[in-house]
Structure 1
Amino acid sequence: MASNRPAPEAPSLPSQRPSETFAYGGQRVDEGPWEEWNPTADSLRPVRGRHRVAKQRGGLARSSTVLGVGVIAAVGAGGMASANTGKPPVSISLPDLPSVGSLISDDDEVPQEAAPATLSTFGTTADDTAQGTADAGEALRTRIMAQAESQQTQVDTKALAAVEAAAAKAEADAAAQAEQEAEAKAAAAKKKAEEQAAKVAEAARLAELAKQYTLPTSSYTITSTFGQAGSMWSSGYHTGLDFAAPTGTLIKAVHSGTITEAGWAGSYGYRTILTLDDGTELWFCHQSSISVSVGQKVGTGDVIGRVGATGNVTGPHLHLEVHPGGAATGIDPMAWLRDKGLTP
């Protein structure tokens, strides 16, 4: 039968003294040579399957117990050596080692696959621990920086949104103000155009009226206006419009109408009253002569008398008064004539 294969040596540290060996492959000087013996089922209960173990003189058998003791001693010696080096102690965990018997087989059978060993921190130094702590700190710093960057991005986004909203509001306000200004300009332009159109229309109306009305005389000078105050007038103010002209200057009908009075009128001297179709009375006073009679129809420009100096006067002139609707109190003849398109 084949002899047993030697078992693997127990791990050792450099600081361990090689004076004693607890694993296979070495002999103590006080021990004799080894011999093989083949146990039977009756003499030794196998741990796992059929195994061959070596019998040591003195009754000590090679077994997993001896190997375990050697490993513990080696680990203890390594720990002491580590303590002597001054390095900080580290935690040690060992994987489950298979028994010696499982490593020895009396035939070519393939041993059963051992369970995977647990990870060990054996050999881990303080530098490795510090490196792991530094990596964890760097990861935490990276997370904090990422979170801060995300928060800053949110703040920047909100600020940008606020700026855009303010810009949009300012643009809307500017557009509204521009629209209001445009509307105001358009309204002003429209009003100006309407005023211009009204002026044009009024000019056209006056031009048409001017064809129907005429001034009462020619070659004259305006000497007194309506409302002028003075003691020479019995009412205290002038009630008409005076056209100073030489005696005998022709007096014409301002508009077509009917003669309702022609004769002496006291302070007015010789007076002719022309009543228009709308009821307005025109008084022609201080005449030197009268050329029409009551009830006579006259047209615009017809001669009704001549300029004189009869009545309460200081010189030859035509005193013209306008009484709308035949009222006792007259209005300004200048304004009335201008409303008819005439400019005295």
Structure 2
Amino acid sequence: MASNHPAPEAPFMPAEAEPDTFGYGGYRAEEGPWEEWNPTEDSLAPVRGRHRVAKQRGGFARSSTVLGVGVMAAVGAGGMASANTGKPPVSISLPDSVEHLFGTDSAAKPEAATALSRAGMASDSADSGNAGEALRNRIMAQAEQQQSKAESKATTAALAATEKETADAAAKAEQAAAAKAADAKQQAEADAKKAAEAKRLAELAKQYTLPVVSYTITGTFGQPGAMWSSGYHTGLDFAAPTGTLIKAVHSGTVTEAGWAGAYGYRTVLTLDDGTELWFCHQSSINVSVGQKVSTGDVIGRIGATGNVTGPHLHLEVHPNGQASAIDPAPWLRDKGLTP
């Protein structure tokens, strides 16, 4: 009976001569190398029963395993190369048994792996760079927008403050101008009124005159004293020597002329507006009742008749003929005369 020859043993290889392996950290005996085995009729056992095919050692089955490991390693290496941006691509070597999957040119294998790694690196690097640039641009745009808003707000506030200051200054200037105009208007009105009054007094001064030319004021209206029956002085006293001429203050009609007790000799001259002027303590009377006189006409002379302490003219003013008298000094000043 024929028997199979024992398979030759693999030659021993020292550790320093162990070949590089793919995908493992050290040398493993089952990885080869192997001696090609060609069975012959003598080395094969006769077929008994069903036809059986002996399992082939090595060959494509083991090469398929190596191919799977190589493909996984290639993908892992490409991913690692893509993740580690900036590192050179990893060169991948494949077993000779799988060359037909990539072509007959062995130089194309590392180029394919390198191209795969570089493609992953370029894609990830481009995506990462684009994302970073987009994020940077977005941040810069937001910062510029916020800065623009802040500057716009500050500019708006400054413009509002400037407008307010301008408006306040304009309002103050307008108020000052209005106040100045009002003062000027009041001053102009006062000046006009004063001028009109001066003109009126000048006209009246032509129509009125003081009763005595040369005199001394010895008694004023309202002075208290026991010598007056009313308890106070009711007129204005013009002291002058006896016989000094007394003139009509204004044109009018003589309504009384004669003795009047404490007033001595008195002449009453009624003006056109009804005002009565009393000329008292005269030494003599030169007019009669009903006589019309004009401004400056002589109506009598100064004396000391009645209740007196010396020669003088006692002048009283009775508006509208009323019994009570008023102060003659303001009345004379209102006529443009200064006693």
Q: Same fold (TM over 0.5)?
A: yes
Aligned position for 2:271:
276
Residue among 320, 324, 330 paired with 1:325: 320
Say if 2:252 is the partner of 1:257. Answer: yes
Aligned position for 1:315:
310
Post-superposition CA distance 1:90-115 (Å, at most 9, x none): 589xxxxxxx89x99xxxxxxxxxxx
Say if 2:305 is the partner of 1:337. Answer: no
Q: How does 1:27-66 map to 2 (within 5 A)?
A: none
Does the C-alpha gap of structure 1 residues 242 and 88 become closer, same or farther in structure 2, counting only changes over 3 Å? Answer: same
Q: What is the root-mean-square deviation of aligned Cα atoms in Å?
A: 4.1
Q: How does 1:181-330 map to 2 (within 5 A)?
A: 181-330=176-325
Q: Which amino acid aligns with 1:178?
A: A
Q: How many residues align?
A: 267
Q: Which amino acid aligns with 2:160?
A: A
Q: How many angstroms does 1:153 deviate by?
A: 0.7
* TM-score in terms of structure 2 length: 0.67
Q: How many angstroms does 1:123 deviate by?
A: 4.1
Of the structure 1 ranges 250-259 and 228-237, higher mean CA displacement relative to structure 2 is found in: 228-237
What are the ranges of 5 or more consecutive residues in structure 2 without an aligned counterpart? 1-19, 23-34, 38-62, 84-89, 91-99, 105-111
Q: Which amino acid aligns with 2:183?
A: A
* TM-score in terms of structure 1 length: 0.67
Q: Greater helix share, 1 or 2?
A: 2
Is the Cα–Cα contact under 8 Å of residues 240 and 322 in structure 1 kept in the other structure? Answer: yes
Say if 2:182 is the partner of 1:167. Answer: no
Q: How many angstroms does 1:125 deviate by?
A: 8.2
Q: Which amino acid aligns with 2:322?
A: A
Q: Name the SS of the counterpart of 2:162 in structure 1.
A: helix
Inter-partner Cα distance in structure 2 for 1:79 and 1:152: 48
Q: How many angstroms does 1:183 deviate by?
A: 0.7
Q: How does 1:5-44 map to 2 (within 5 A)?
A: none
Inter-partner Cα distance in structure 2 for 1:246 and 1:77: 155
Aligned position for 1:150:
145
Q: How many angstroms does 1:68 deviate by?
A: 9.8
Does the C-alpha gap of structure 1 residues 314 and 121 become closer, same or farther in structure 2, counting only changes over 3 Å? Answer: farther
Q: Name the SS of the counterpart of 2:207 in structure 1.
A: coil
Of the structure 1 ranges 125-134 and 259-268, higher mean CA displacement relative to structure 2 is found in: 125-134
Post-superposition CA distance 1:242-262 (Å, at most 9, x none): 000000000000011110000
Post-superposition CA distance 1:123-178 (Å, at most 9, x none): 46889967864663343133112112112211221221122122212211221121
Inter-partner Cα distance in structure 2 for 1:298 and 1:90: 138
Q: Which amino acid aligns with 2:187?
A: K
Is the Cα–Cα contact under 8 Å of residues 82 and 124 in structure 2 kept in the other structure? Answer: no
**Aligned sequence identity (%):** 65
Q: How many angstroms does 1:334 deviate by?
A: 0.5
Inter-partner Cα distance in structure 2 for 1:90 and 1:16: 25
Q: Name the SS of the counterpart of 1:318 in structure 2.
A: strand
Q: Name the SS of the counterpart of 2:117 in structure 1.
A: coil
Inter-partner Cα distance in structure 1 for 2:323 and 2:192: 37
